[in-house]
Structure 1
């Protein structure tokens, strides 16, 4: 098992949760971004800087992910691809994307993008709250506990 993080937009509190979980469970963690990402010194935790460009980090993760890995991303198309490959996927707000819900989330994402493009909807999600951080940590813990030992 490996944890892959779409780090371009991953909030710092979520990264901190991931750093602690990787150390506690001894699971490799790689943060992928098109900018330099600081990580704590650990043989388990790495940062991979990819070229700048649309979806470059997402494409890198999609190429690397294996069944049973965990992917952390708010990017719904990447989440759909990772779920299709057999990975467990968590959004930074704690949503667990599964084969049962990813198509609906992809359809909703496409609808919202269309509404934003037409100006009918403005803005995005609010700031990350304590309950969302807790939900993320709970889902992550549950997935890590369920992993084959």
Structure 2
């Protein structure tokens, strides 16, 4: 029998505030642990049914905490393609704050595009950053997040 989702980890350093609030609202009555993992510089007010894990501000500390604590069927919300690529083989659900589901079949393309952008920046070329966060992004996130929670029987 497959193991049920036990924990939802949020890479809170780069997660937009409206998404953090949406997660708290949706998870208010969900019977799983909700862990916001953040460095000292990115802590937000704690709500009922959520817990904050505070790590050092060193580069990748949040990612390392998440990688070292997830188990199969946990859920991670992150914008970090590299972190997602490490989590997917572990059997973890991974979703971006904009509602994009990271999957084994799309992660290589995302990592390649990130590599090309990084190469351009190192060459001194200007690269477009992410588009401004919009209401539609929050709605897409909410829909995808709830879809996974329903699939797991948590909503």
Q: Is TM > 0.5 for Structure 1 vs Structure 2?
A: yes
| Structure 2: distance between partners of 1:131 and 1:24 | 24
**Equivalent-residue separation in structure 2 for 1:101 and 1:123 (angstroms):** 21
What residue ranges of structure 1 are gaps of 5+ in the alignment? none
Is the partner of 1:126 in helix, strand or coil?
A: coil
Q: Matched residue of 1:94: which SS?
A: coil
Give the match for residue 32 of structure 2. 27
- Written as runs of structure 1 = structure 2, the 5 A alignment for 1:77-96 is 77-96=82-101
SS of 2:94 mapped into structure 1: strand
User: Residues of 2 paired with 1:87 and 1:97: CA distance?
Assistant: 10
TM-score calculated relative to the size of structure 1? 0.92
**Structure 1 residue ranges (4+ consecutive) displaced by more than 4 angstroms after TM superposition:** none
Distance 1:65 1:92 in 2: 18
> Separation in 1 of the partners of 2:139 and 2:82?
24
1:42-61 matches, within 5 Å, as 42=48, 44-61=49-66
Q: Which position in structure 2 is the counterpart of 1:3? A: 8
**Unmatched 5+ residue regions in structure 2?**
none
Number of equivalenced pairs:
148
Contact 2:63 2:83 in 1 (8 A): yes
CA–CA distance in 2 between the matches of 1:94 and 1:116?
Answer: 26
Aligned-CA RMSD value: 1.5
Pick from 130, 137, 142 the counterpart of residue 137 of structure 1.
142
Residue in structure 2 matched with residue 62 of structure 1 by the alignment? 67
CA distance in 2, matches of 1:41, 1:135: 23
Matched, 1:109 2:114: yes
TM-score by length of 2: 0.89
What's the counterpart of residue 20 of structure 2?
Answer: 15
Rounded Cα–Cα distance in structure 2 between residues aligned with 1:117 and 1:137: 35
Equivalence for 1:38: 44
- CA offsets per residue over residues 49-86 of structure 1, 9 Å max, x none? 10111101111101111111110100111011111111
